[in-house]
Amino acid sequence: MLKTHGHLSDDRLIALCLDGADAREAAHCPACQQRYAEFAALLADAHVTAVADADAAFPAERLERQHARILQRLEQDGRPGRVIAFPRHTREGQAWRSRPDTRWMAAAAAAGLVIGLLAGHATQTVPRGAIATVVATDTAPPGFRAVPTAFSEDEFLGQVEMAADSPGGTDLRSLHDLTPRAWEVR
Amino acid sequence: MARTPSRLARPSAGDRLASPPALSKDSQVAAEVKALIVAGEREAARERFAELVGLQQRRASRIAFAYLRDVHDADEAVQDAFLKVFTHITSYREELPFEVWFTRVLVNGCLDLRKARSRRWRWSLPMAPDAEAVACDPPSTDPSPEDRLLSGDRAQEIRAAVQQLPDRQRTVFTLCQMSEQSTTEVSQALGLSEATVRVHLFRAIRKLRCLLER
């Protein structure tokens, strides 16, 4: 008998409640009897509450439905799986005719290809030189003339000197004075 | 409100030495179903199993609802448990009570469902309470002592306190309270020793008392 300070321990009282042993063991002490009654009431209340909650959640109608559903699933469980036939077409042409949009898509793709080829051919027939001339003519600002680039550095610098000495180059005179001569640098 | 405590009693030494107790009706029916399946009479086995479902259905629903606290989940767990038992009925050992084996299958299914539900809730937003679940609260029109208990705060406190128990303690307490099984049978159903079951059960009751005294 487990006792603490002359009283039965909680475990002993719980065991008395659970095992249905003779409760006279706790009857000698009012305090132990009170605690025993509390444990017994707790267990009884918990049992009643849990059972009532579950029974309210599962009334007879729901249990009947559950029973029927279980039997239905058992019956389905024993059957072999139903094989669904793969859809097949009787004639190949039917599948093509049943989807008219595909014809328009094919026609549009072919037309796009033809237009692309024609456009490419048309651009290649125009001579490249003509295009370059047009571009050069259009982009060159007025007052400038084309300078051939197939001469040496000395010739180029000489032409710059001559241009600076010419009467039309007075505007560049001040800049010319600041610039060292080619022969002075050498 | 008297409780029948003897259902949790441990078998005495005299009982243990005596011949094995006669099989319950459920166990007898389960043995017949197994024999029919082995004989290849599946249709007859299914009809016999329907009787077994009727015998165990109420108890199974109570256990599942106590675990899951959700009507739909409990319904699913009970259905799955019966299907699983029928599928594996050939592995049933007739010398053991069918209730113990079935309870073990059912509890494992409930635990799996609870895990799945916790994973589901992790990624879902809270929703309004289910109208059907709200309707599960027992009516208070009957003035019996049980209904006075259930309609009052006491029942609500008990529900909340049971939910606060650790998983293992709640499992043991629920089984002992709901399945009308002894601690020996609960230990077989859970795969634990009887001493472990009693330790968890005592702790659960002590904790419940502390929670309800606050």
Backbone φ and ψ of A69, nearest 5°: -65, -40
Mutate to test the interface with B, among A70, A73, A75 (most CBs of B within 10 A): A70
Identify whether B132 is part of a domain: no
Q: Are residues B49 and A63, on separate chains, in Cβ contact within 8 Å?
A: no
Pairing of strands A7-8, A3-4: antiparallel
Domain boundary among the residues B86, B121, B156 is at B121
Over residues B187-207, mean pLDDT: 90
Q: Are residues A67 and B57, on separate chains, in Cβ contact within 8 Å?
A: yes
Report the domain count for chain B.
2
More confident residue, B179 or B137: B179
Cα–Cα separations (whole angstroms), residue A27 to A24, A30, B203: 5, 7, 24
The domain limits of chain A are 3-77
Identify whether B93 is part of a domain: yes
> Element (H or E) spanning A3, and its range?
strand A3-4
Mutate to test the interface with B, among A4, A11, A18 (most CBs of B within 10 A): A18
Whose structure tokens read 């006491």? Answer: B154
Per-residue pLDDT in tens (0 to 9) along chain A, 186 residues: 455 567 788 888 888 887 766 666 666 788 888 888 888 888 888 888 888 889 999 999 999 999 999 999 988 876 666 677 777 655 555 555 556 678 888 999 999 999 999 998 888 775 555 555 544 455 555 555 555 556 677 888 888 777 767 766 667 777 777 777 767 665
> Element (H or E) spanning A4, and its range?
strand A3-4
Domain carrying residue B47: 23-121
Identify whether B108 is part of a domain: yes
For the domain that residue B54 is a member of, what is the CATH number?
1.10.1740.10
Nearest to B46 among A40, A44, A75 (CB): A75
Same domain, B97 and B157: no
Same domain, B82 and B149: no
Identify whether B5 is part of a domain: no
For the domain that residue B176 is a member of, what is the CATH number?
1.10.10.10
Chain A residue numbers touching B8 (CB-CB < 8 A) = 18-20
Dump pLDDT digits (tens) for B26-52. Answer: 888 999 999 999 998 888 999 999 999
Same domain, B100 and B171: no
